[in-house]
Amino acid sequence: MDWLSFLSYVFLNCITPGPNNTISLSGAAQRGFLYSLRYIGGASVGFFAVSLLAGGFTALLYDVLPAIEPWLLALGAAYILYLARQVWRSEPGGGGDAARSRGVFSGIAMQFINVKGILFAVTAMGSYVLPHYSGALPVVLVSLLMAASCFVCCCAWALCGAVLERAYRKHTRAVNGVMALALVWCAAELVLELINGLTRA
């Protein structure tokens, strides 16, 4: 396996803007870096599970995914819009629904409705790992590596958010608006993908 190509693929997929990174940054900006670790930990655990499933059922997922992809896209877009609403309404140090929407369970759940994340895991396993290695151990080790990359990249975004915490407290509504719009953009991309898929069918 070309490890340089594989590691570059994993890193670029994990570091580019998306729901996980945006929510990590937003949580850290609002309530500090340590607070955002709840969501990041959940996201990493969830992505580890998704990667394991992708490694174990890649052939099956390639067959099943086209049928369930529209439902996953719709569910993912709806959930991301819900998170955008929570970000928009949240206040510095606030709790309640906004805090729960960025907790451990939210981080885990996001990975199972994130079509791009699922496709990323399936592609990584199907294109890079399974053609070169057999058995459960390589799948487990690579899944751990991918989850670790998710954790590190989300932490990097959260650190950026923590640096902006003071500015956030001065400009809460504006920062919330930017973060909410970023999540709305993520949801819009899923909706456009859903529409394109339905028009091609």
Task: Indicate if the pLDDT at residue 80 is higher than 80.
Answer: no
* CB contact burial 8-32 (16+ within 10 A = b; e otherwise): ebbeebbbeebbbbbbbbbbbbbbb
Task: Indicate if the pLDDT at residue 98 is higher than 70.
Answer: no
pLDDT at 38: 93
Percent of the chain with pLDDT over 70: 89
Of 166 and 136, more confident: 136
Average pLDDT of the residues in 84-109: 70
Contact of 91 with 172, CB cutoff 8 Å: yes
The average confidence (pLDDT) of the chain is 81
pLDDT at 162: 85
